[in-house]
Structure 1
Amino acid sequence: MSTPYAAFGRTDQKGRTRAALVRAARDLVARGVSPTVEQAAAAAAVSRTTAYRYFPSQRALLAAAHPETDTASMLGEAPPEDPAARLDRVVAAVTDMIVETEPQQRTMLRLSLDAEPDTGVGALPLRQGRATAWITEALEELRVQLGDAELDRLVLAIRSAIGIEALVWLTDVGGLSRTEAVELMRWSARSLLQAALTTGPPSATAAPAASAVETAGPEESAE
């Protein structure tokens, strides 16, 4: 693997140049633009050739500019011991971040949906499982009680209820305000945890239930 351009020679100056490009990209995304490397370079007063040395593609630029790239944990200082309280703290932090950085989140979601699956190198943040790692950290003490597979499925269920995808649906389709959407996402996370502790998450080998259309007669099929 080649050494990144910013990792050798005049590293301080290169670090400032890279940071300027990232700031410019974030500012453009916040205004609803999906910036190209050329646009970020112009906004940062950096030559196009230099910008491409740091970010060879738009995807690499946006991955670096995404607000959650360097966030390792959402539990904060002195996290509670109770799994439910830990989960609620993480979900509150995640949903607040999503609302605060909604333009960036929507841009990354659109690119993730439009692009071909990544091979791993330079993958977009929405495909790197950061939120699932934060949720897993909150619920780690339940691993013994639930088991590895069951905890993993619970984490996936919670992630599906609290991400940018959920916010887009609840606001654009459901018609909720951002505040209402956040409250509903937090309620969903708490409810999923309670259900898992009471009845357990669905088994990984369980057959999906037949849909109403599959089980109903022709005259009973739902439209």
Structure 2
Amino acid sequence: MPYEASGRAEQKLRTRSALVAAARALVAQGATPSVAEVADAASISRATAYRYFPSQRQLLAAAHPETAATSMLGEDPPEDPAARLDRVVQAFTALIVRTEQQQRTMLRLSLAEDGTERVGLPLRQGRAITWITEAFEPVREQLTDDGVRALALAVRSAIGIEALVWLTDIGGLTREQAVESMRWSAQALLQAALSRGAPGVEVGAKAR
């Protein structure tokens, strides 16, 4: 049972929230803070902070931008798959740009050598795949379940923090240009899948 779930739940929730908020603020400034540094910033004793977050990784994972959303289509989503996809991509890339420092920190952690510690990190959970997949529901029968999955993976590879880092740090684009490039890539992948089939999936294969 997590420490904050046992007794005095409201007070412990406030303490946990204060630690997470302090961690997010420090990460947004470009730091990769330790549990002790976050405790000091939140004016909470280090011993207490370690009861909530025994390791830096656990704390930074909790401080990752909100990923509890079940959809990025918003209200009254369109039926056109291209419009649906663009809505999701715009919402997702806006989140990435808005929380870029936190995203970069999590990317660094996700590339760490210890595979056992990488498993629980937000970037390893595939939440964005669910959001992207929802955009393709109107063409699921045409693409098949396997095709939708393959296409969602391809789109995710083109629009995440990894793509933003490459386009800005290596490609030299502004963030606005990078977002437009990611939107263009997502649409190009969708059109290719609709005309030629999703990558690695036989055209005309029946859905399972």
TM-score in terms of structure 1 length: 0.86
Q: Distance in 1 between matches of 2:83 and 2:97?
A: 21
Contact conserved, 2:97 with 2:175, CA < 8 A, in 1? yes
Q: What residue ranges of structure 1 are gaps of 5+ in the alignment?
A: 206-223
1:165 to 162, 166, 178: 162
Tell me the number of residue pairs that the alignment of Structure 1 and Structure 2 aligns.
202
Please provide the CA RMSD for this pair. 1.5
Deviation at 1:72, TM superposition (A): 2.3
Deviation at 1:78, TM superposition (A): 1.6
Deviation at 1:147, TM superposition (A): 1.1
Give structure 1 regions of 4+ aligned residues with deviation exceeding 4 angstroms: none
1:86 to 48, 71, 84: 84
Deviation at 1:77, TM superposition (A): 1.6
Paired position in structure 1 for 2:35: 37
Q: Where in structure 2 are the equivalents of 1:88-167 lying within 5 Å?
A: 88-118=86-116, 123-167=120-164
Contact conserved, 1:63 with 1:69, CA < 8 A, in 2? no
The one-letter amino acid paired with 2:171 is G
Paired position in structure 1 for 2:185: 188
1:13-49 CA-partner distances (Å, limit 9, x unpaired): 0000000000000000000011111111111111111
The one-letter amino acid paired with 1:11 is A
The one-letter amino acid paired with 2:157 is S
1:41-72 CA-partner distances (Å, limit 9, x unpaired): 11111111111111111111111110133222
Q: Distance in 1 between matches of 2:156 and 2:34?
A: 30
The one-letter amino acid paired with 2:12 is K
Paired position in structure 2 for 1:26: 24
1:75-113 CA-partner distances (Å, limit 9, x unpaired): 112211221111100000011111111111111001101
TM-score in terms of structure 2 length: 0.92
Contact conserved, 2:79 with 2:138, CA < 8 A, in 1? no
Contact conserved, 1:37 with 1:55, CA < 8 A, in 2? yes
Where 2:111 maps in the other structure, the secondary structure is helix
Name whichever of 137-146 and 35-44 sits farther off.
Answer: 137-146
Deviation at 1:204, TM superposition (A): 5.2
Contact conserved, 2:112 with 2:118, CA < 8 A, in 1? no
The one-letter amino acid paired with 1:102 is E
Contact conserved, 2:111 with 2:118, CA < 8 A, in 1? no
Q: Distance in 2 between matches of 1:76 and 1:7?
A: 32
Q: Distance in 1 between matches of 2:164 and 2:199?
A: 24
